[in-house]
Amino acid sequence: MEENYLNFVLVPLGLLVMVGYHVWLFYQIRRNPVGTVIGMNAINRRFWAISMMEDTQKTGVLAVQTLRNNIMASTLLASTAIMLSSLIAVLMTGGVTGRGSAGSNDHQWTGITYNQGTKLMSTIKYFSILVCFLVSFLMNVQSIRYYSHASMLINVPYKNITNFTSHRLTADYVGSTVNRGGYFWSLGLRAFYFSFPLFLWLFGAIPMFICCVFMVFMLYFLDVAFDVGWVADVASIDEETG
pLDDT for residue 235: 44
Task: Report CA-CA distances (Å) from 66 to 71, 107, 187.
Answer: 9, 53, 20
pLDDT for residue 45: 92
* Distance from C-alpha of 174 to C-alpha of 181, rounded to nearest angstrom: 11
Average pLDDT of the residues in 175-179: 93
Average pLDDT of the residues in 163-175: 68
Work out the angle between the directed axes of helices 56-91 and 119-153 (0-180°, nearest 10): 170
Rounded to a whole number of angstroms, the CA Rg of the chain reads: 23
pLDDT for residue 158: 66
Question: Per residue, what are the HEC states of 200-215?
Answer: HHHHCHHHHHHHHHHH
Average pLDDT of the residues in 108-120: 53
Which amino acid, one-letter code, is at 215?
M
> 3-class DSSP state for residue 151?
helix
Which amino acid, one-letter code, is at 70?
N
Residue 241 has pLDDT above 50, yes or no: no
pLDDT for residue 168: 60
Mean pLDDT score of the chain, rounded to an integer? Answer: 81
On the 0-12 / 13-18 / 19+ scale of CB atoms within 10 A, 176 is middle
Residue 146 has pLDDT above 90, yes or no: yes
Average pLDDT of the residues in 99-113: 45
Average pLDDT of the residues in 26-47: 92
Phi, psi of 52 (to 5 degrees): -70, -30
Q: Using the 8-state DSSP alphabet, how is residue 94 labeled?
A: I
pLDDT for residue 14: 92
Tell which residue, 140, 135, 166, 172, has the closest CA to residue 52.
172
pLDDT for residue 101: 45
Dihedral sign, Cα of residue 120, residue 122, residue 123, residue 128: positive
Tell which residue, 36, 5, 1, 53, has the closest CA to residue 209.
5
**More confident position, 45 or 101:** 45
How many CB atoms are located within 10 Å of the residue 101 CB? Answer: 6
Q: Where are the alpha helices (DSSP H) in the chain?
A: 2-31, 37-52, 56-91, 119-153, 171-200, 205-223, 226-241
pLDDT for residue 142: 96
Average pLDDT of the residues in 208-217: 94
* Distance from C-alpha of 65 to C-alpha of 1, rounded to nearest angstrom: 57
Residue 234 has pLDDT above 50, yes or no: no
What's the whole-model pTM score?
A: 0.80
Residue 237 has pLDDT above 50, yes or no: no
Average pLDDT of the residues in 97-120: 50
pLDDT for residue 190: 94
pLDDT for residue 159: 65
**More confident position, 139 or 97:** 139
pLDDT tens for residues 66-89?
Answer: 999 999 999 999 999 999 999 998
Q: Could you tell me which residues are beta bridge partners of residue 206?
A: none
pLDDT for residue 166: 42
Segment among 50-59, 87-96, 186-195 with least mean pLDDT: 87-96
